[in-house]
Chain A
Amino acid sequence: ETGVTQSPTHLIKTRGQQVTLRCSSQSGHNTVSWYQQALGQGPQFIFQYYREEENGRGNFPPRFSGLQFPNYSSELNVNALELDDSALYLCASRGGGSYEQYFGPGTRLTVT
């Protein structure tokens, strides 16, 4: 088990609603990345936060946004939910100068 935790484990939302997912990084890790994993696919990079600033973004629309807090925990916010947003959302953390990313268990989001 990594020290990365995510909440909630599962949630169900309706199309058009907004959702906030939370991630606590492993102790001492100052970089948090978010990934979306559709069923049967590999994870896709959404964005990354380093010392509370976004420092990388994948091919996701602006309705995907995030925050990182001084304790390095992070939030992923998705507005105007679409059916295709149904996926496993993964958070990964790493320490300064390290290449190794450690994933949390994920949040399973279902949009109906």
Chain B
Amino acid sequence: QQQVKQSPQSLIVQKGGISIINCAYENTAFDYFPWYQQFPGKGPALLIAIRPDVSEKKEGRFTISFNKSAKQFSLHIMDSQPGDSATYFCAASYGGSQGNLIFGKGTKLSVKP
């Protein structure tokens, strides 16, 4: 019930293409769903996040789609660039602003020029 399942494990996309990463969860108490980007040797950086009362959130080239009934959410990266090559983690938390994050296992994205 505490797991967040992320797919695919790795993804190769051509420059200018759309990258799509999916996550699924079981615990309906989750109330916050962030995505983090991590480059090798660095800590995770908060990219974009959504609350379950919203079905979509867009920030620049990054969009989260959220399907509460299916208990799934996804990250879409439009016009993918080589600089987007990194590992992406979805996460979820419950317990309001004091909740801890439960992470997926990550997706390694490679954007080919």
Please tell me the number of chain B residues within 8 Å of chain A, measured between CB atoms.
27
B42 within 8 A of A: yes
Q: For the complex, what is the distance from the CA of A50 to the CA of B100, rounded to whole Å? A: 12
Task: Name the distance in Å between A110's Cβ and chain B's nearest Cβ.
Answer: 14
B contacts with A: majority SS: mixed
**Chain B residues near A50 (CB-CB < 8 A):** 98
Let me know if A66 is at the binding interface, CB within 8 A. Answer: no
Question: Is B103 a contact of A42 with CB atoms below 8 Å?
Answer: yes
Contact A100 B46 (CB under 8 A): yes
Closest chain-A Cβ to B2's Cβ sits at a distance in Å of 10
Stretch at the interface among A12-20, A70-78, A79-87, A89-97: A89-97
B98 near A42 with CB under 8 A, answer: no
Cβ 8 A contact of B100, one of A40, A48, A103: A48
Central interface residue in A2, A43, A48, by most chain B CB within 10 Å: A43
Q: Are B105 and A101 within 8 A (Cβ)?
A: no
